[in-house]
Amino acid sequence: QVRLVESGGGSVQAGGSLRLSCAASGYAASPKCMGWFRQAPGKEREGVAAIYTYNNYTYYADSVKGRFTVSQDNTKNTVYLQMNSLSPEDSALYYCAAALGRCMNWEQSLFDTHYRGQGTQVTVSS
């Protein structure tokens, strides 16, 4: 059974940093598009970042480029999201997701996949 477990959320002041982790288990180590999307109350769901596990190509939403970094540790089956220069607009429930195949349409792939975690809350205060 595929399982994705997020950790690392919390509360931070504007300008601060957090690192989210997503530990994956229960599926074969085939190339995947893994990443993060977020959902804030009253806002549309937004793809944040993704990484293609085969070649480490990364993809980002314009709103987080230059501030967030997605990476992976294959030895631990874990994907990370390093978030710097956080602002209150980044406050949301962050979900890790994994989609089979490439990240050709990464945002939609992460929205549509059945493989996702329970979410971890990130709250940024001004």
pLDDT digits (tens, 9 = 90+) for 60-78: 999 999 999 999 998 899 9
The DSSP symbol for 26 reads S
CA–CA dist 97, 75 (Å, integer): 18
Question: Contact 4/74 with Cβ under 8 angstroms?
Answer: no
pLDDT digits (tens, 9 = 90+) for 21-42: 999 988 766 778 999 999 999 9
CA–CA dist 38, 93 (Å, integer): 5
Question: Contact 34/46 with Cβ under 8 angstroms?
Answer: no
Instruction: Taking residues 99-112, report their average pLDDT.
Output: 92
CA–CA dist 40, 93 (Å, integer): 6
For residue 58, what are its two tokens?
A: 């990364």
